[in-house]
Chains A and B, each alone.
Chain A
Amino acid sequence: MAYSEQVLDHYENPRNVGKMDEQDAHVGTGMVGAPACGDVMRLQIKVNDSGVIEDAKFKTYGCGSAIASSSLVTEWMKGMTLDQAGEIRNSNISEELALPPVKIHCSVLAEDAIKAAIHDYKSKQ
């Protein structure tokens, strides 16, 4: 399979790889997917008191497109408010990365991870 330049770039140089303390009240964690399906994304956001995402980290088990999708959204989310981040759609991700139809589910998973992380953060407040 041929990969787009954008996917290759994120795959070769993934942004914001890492892990934050899940217990921290300022951190929201979203873990989506399943090993049996071949992809698991863990997306974490650190939100300041004015509701702005200060930092985002990810780790992903999955194909190159899944890694690139999660890497891309960590870049996008930094500096966004929770509401803005909640508006990121899988179509934005798949467009930016030029994902082929068989890889659209990777961008769907990334959107799910964003929602799960926001939900986790809100439920802690």
Chain B
Amino acid sequence: MKLPIFLDYSATTPVDPRVAKLMCDCLTQEGNFGNPASRSHIYGWQAEEAVENARRQVADLVKADPREIVWTSGATESNNLAIKGVAHFYHKKGKHIITSKIEHKAVLDTCRQLEREGFEVTYLDPTTDGLISAQQVADALREDTILVSLMHVNNEIGVITDIAAIAEVTRANKVLFHVDAAQSTGKIEIDLTAAKVDLMSFSAHKTYGPKGVGALYVSRKPRVRLEAQIHGGGHERGMRSGTLATHQIVGMGAAFAIAQEEMDSDNVRIKRLSERLWNGVKDMEEVYMNGHPTQRVPGNANISFNFVEGESLLMSLRELAVSSGSACTSASLEPSYVLRALGMNDELAHSSIRFSIGRFTTEEDIDQAIELSLNAVNKLRALSPLWDMFKDGIDLDTVQWAAH
């Protein structure tokens, strides 16, 4: 069987072979397998050195101090630690948190949990382009607000939040600002010496590192305090106990070091490929790019093919590994909550496909994706009663549907 073309880099990325090699060197008896917390022999010292080197590599990519980097199991855990950690430490100051409706579930579900614990959460509405502005944050601040948590780059639509502007608002109001940067490392410049961000979550596997490792940036100046969520041996200055996974951490460090080296050249190539993709499909009728047209990372193209249902589209695109804005897995099919929060109607949300392009995508991959998409959309529109009605000039919003 011919393998499907991988265009789902926003879901995860393959580990860069250069990274995999370094990781393998930290596993076996011949390698650097020691426990980084072992103080009494060279096995521990060597492992510790590798971990601290990786910590520097991660800190360097985002212009932070290595002492501000806490290892975790991924961005999900980083988000949990940041949000719950702040809430539990600062709850006497206030119980209000601000986030948005288009955050990753790792943020939304964490906020829901805090609501059950008695915190109040404001969920900001994005513009139809998917943006959250500093003004919106300023307007939502209250006397008892302790934390604002927003993502840097949205995983579904690729739009970029202006975190520097929002950080000015939060810092001026002495409110902590957490940013989920799982989707932005290696794609856009992050400068934590300039941006007044207090906490930032990272994941290795979105940036050609391994799954199962991430980090949380915890600002030292001004000093941010967190209540630990995982207790034990007091690793990571008490913020996150557990024996450090040397191979995972070395992988994340190496991946972030490569990201720093190659971000510019990667971006040029990826931008060219995503423009090629969009130019290849945009001349069809009723095709829309979702999210802000320019304030976005180049690797993400979330495209709605109106009057075609997403799951049948995916079925026609079996030679492509892409993801859809909806999943028809129950009697009431749920369109993506992100697209819905943009105010998009359900048909358009159901008809969306996220193509995400990355380091190993080729021009041939894109050309094939274009051809397959055009064929699939044309085939399914020929089958679609909605397309017929659209062609007959019927406004679908005026039709009385027999909803079931």
Contacts and interface: CB of A to CB of B under 8 A. Distances in A.
A38 B333 contact: yes
A17 B382 CA distance: 8
Q: How would you classify the secondary structure of chain A's contact residues: helix, strand, loop or mixed? A: mixed
Q: Find the residue from B326, B335, B350, B383 having the highest chain A CB count within 10 A.
A: B383
Contacts of A60: 383-385
B263 to A, nearest CB: 36
Contacts of B402: 31-34, 112, 116
A38 B311 CA distance: 9
Interface residues of B, number: 31
B347 A35 contact: yes
Nearest to B335: A38
Given A11-B312, A61-B309, A102-B330, A112 B385 contact: no
A27 interface: no
B24 to A, nearest CB: 34
Nearest to A116: B402
A61 B9 CA distance: 29
A67 interface: yes
A102 B331 CA distance: 7
Contacts, number: 95
Given A35-B350, A37-B403, A62 B312 contact: yes
A109 B331 CA distance: 10
Interface residues of A, number: 33
A3 B314 CA distance: 12
A22 B310 CA distance: 28
A26 interface: no
Contacts of A67: 312, 383
Contacts of A39: 309, 328, 333
A61 B328 contact: no
B240 to A, nearest CB: 37
Contacts of A38: 309-311, 326, 328, 333, 335, 346, 350
A65 B49 CA distance: 56
Interface in B282-311: 307-311
Q: Find the residue from B330, B382, B401 having the highest chain A CB count within 10 A.
A: B401
Interface in A18-41: 19, 31-41
B386 A64 contact: no
The 8 closest A-B pairs by CB, nearest first: A34-B401, A38-B333, A36-B346, A63-B311, A42-B385, A35-B347, A59-B385, A34-B403
Interface of A: 1, 3, 11, 14, 17, 19, 31-42, 59-64, 66-67, 102-103, 105, 108-109, 112, 116
Given A36-B403, A40-B401, 18 more contacts: A11-B312, A32-B402, A32-B404, A35-B350, A35-B396, A35-B401, A36-B346, A38-B309, A38-B310, A38-B350, A59-B384, A59-B388, A60-B384, A61-B385, A61-B386, A67-B383, A105-B331, A112-B404
